């Protein structure tokens, strides 16, 4: 593959919003946005079972791996990895919980919720090359769980995938914060900052309620280990679809080039 595109997208769960921001009113716009860019790999966060059912039906070109964070099955939010089935084969996948017991459904340290990291090894059908992809949603409130969770995710990805890795997700942390510093220790790097063409807009906007300024840092990031692919473009897709915001986050889309 000459290029590889990875999108990280917190799609906002279907539980809490009413009116125009209710899932029923924005799900078509979200799918339209995804289809307009056709990422090779799509890492989502906050997807509840009803949303997963809809997205699987509406994205027939993609396969996926992911489990619910509450029980390792179908309960709670997923952080799934979707991938274009024409390009990739899943050759190994697992989920770890960002806690003191990463192999069991669990809530770690001072976190308010179970947090997970989805790990998938993908083999390129064209070349046989294997890459590692992680999708995660880091704790939003507990400062200990933010840092410790980042450490668990980092270690799990580097030890389990053992190839060029891409760790995409909602990290709930700004550039320079303590969890961010954990995630950018060698060999991991920030793909957005390394891309010669990049957007510096914030990724969280609260359905348009949060002012978008260059001073507001993105909290959604894609980290990677140097290897075959290097980032050339990073876009924060600060757009509406069908006249509405598909989520309270903008997706981050990074284009990587081979060679």
Does the pTM surpass 0.95? The reply is: yes
Rounded average pLDDT over 79-98: 99
Looking at residue 213, its pLDDT comes to: 54
Q: Cβ neighbours of residue 150 under 8 Å, at least 6 residues apart?
A: 138, 171, 173, 179, 182, 183
The lowest-confidence range among 6-15, 141-150, 204-213 is 204-213
For the beta carbon of residue 81, count every other beta carbon within 10 angstroms.
Answer: 27
Looking at residue 210, its pLDDT comes to: 74
Q: Residue 29: exposed, middle, or buried by beta-carbon count in 10 A (0-12, 13-18, 19+)?
A: middle
Instruction: For residue 217, name the pLDDT band (cuts at 50, 70, 90).
Output: confident
Q: What is the side-by-side order of every strand in the sheet holding 220-224?
A: 88-97, 116-124, 130-137, 165-170, 220-224, 189-190
Cα 83 to its chain centre, rounded Å, is 12
Beta carbons of 5 and 40 less than 8 angstroms apart: yes
Domain range holding 29? Answer: 3-258
DSSP code string of the chain? --EEEEEEEE---SSS--GGGSHHHHHHHHHHHHHHH--SEEEEESB-HHHHHHHHHH-TTEEEE--BTTTSSSSS-B--EEEETTTEEEEEEEEEESSSSTTSS---TT-SS--EEEEEEEEETTT--EEEEEEEE--SS-HHHHHHHHHHHHHHHHHHH-SSEEEEEE----TTSHHHHHHTSTT-EEHHHH-SEE----SB-TTTTS---TTSPPSEEEEE-SSSEEEEEEEE----BTTB-SSSB--EEEEEEE-
User: Of 6 and 17, which is predicted with more confidence?
Assistant: 6
Instruction: For residue 212, name the pLDDT band (cuts at 50, 70, 90).
Output: low
The single residue listed with the structure tokens 């980092």 is 154
CA–CA gap between residue 199 and residue 237 (Å, rounded): 9
Is the pLDDT reported for residue 214 higher than 90? no
Three-state SS annotation for 117-155: EEEEEEEECCCCCEEEEEEEECCCCCHHHHHHHHHHHHH
| CATH number for the domain harbouring residue 13 | 3.60.10.10
Give the total number of structural domains in the chain: 1
For the beta carbon of residue 162, count every other beta carbon within 10 angstroms.
Answer: 11
Is the pLDDT reported for residue 215 higher than 60? no
């Amino acid at each position: 593959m000459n290029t590889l595109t990875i999108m990280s997208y917190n799609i906002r769960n279907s539980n809490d919003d009413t009116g125009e921001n209710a899932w029923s009113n924005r799900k078509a716009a979200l799918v339209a946005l995804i289809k307009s860019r056709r990422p090779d790999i799509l890492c989502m966060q906050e997807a509840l079972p009803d949303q997963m059912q809809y997205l699987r039906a509406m994205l027939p070109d993609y396969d996926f791996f992911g489990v619910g964070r509450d029980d390792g099955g179908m309960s709670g939010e997923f952080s799934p990895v979707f991938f274009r089935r024409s390009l990739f084969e899943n050759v190994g996948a697992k989920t770890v919980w960002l806690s003191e017991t990463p192999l069991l459904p669990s809530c770690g340290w001072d976190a308010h919720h179970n947090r997970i990291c989805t790990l998938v090894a993908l083999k390129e059908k064209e070349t046989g090359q294997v890459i590692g992809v992680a999708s995660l949603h880091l704790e939003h409130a507990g400062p200990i769980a933010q840092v410790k969770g980042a450490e668990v995710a980092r270690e799990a990805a580097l030890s389990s995938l053992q190839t060029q890795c891409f760790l995409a997700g909602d990290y709930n942390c700004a550039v320079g914060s303590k969890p961010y510093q954990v995630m950018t220790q060698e060999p991991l790097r920030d793909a957005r900052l390394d891309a010669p063409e990049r957007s510096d807009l914030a990724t969280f906007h609260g359905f348009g309620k949060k002012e978008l300024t260059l001073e507001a840092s993105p909290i959604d990031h894609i980290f990677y280990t140097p290897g075959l692919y290097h980032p050339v473009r990073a876009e924060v897709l600060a757009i509406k679809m069908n006249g509405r915001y598909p989520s309270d986050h903008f997706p981050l889309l990074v284009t990587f080039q081979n060679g």
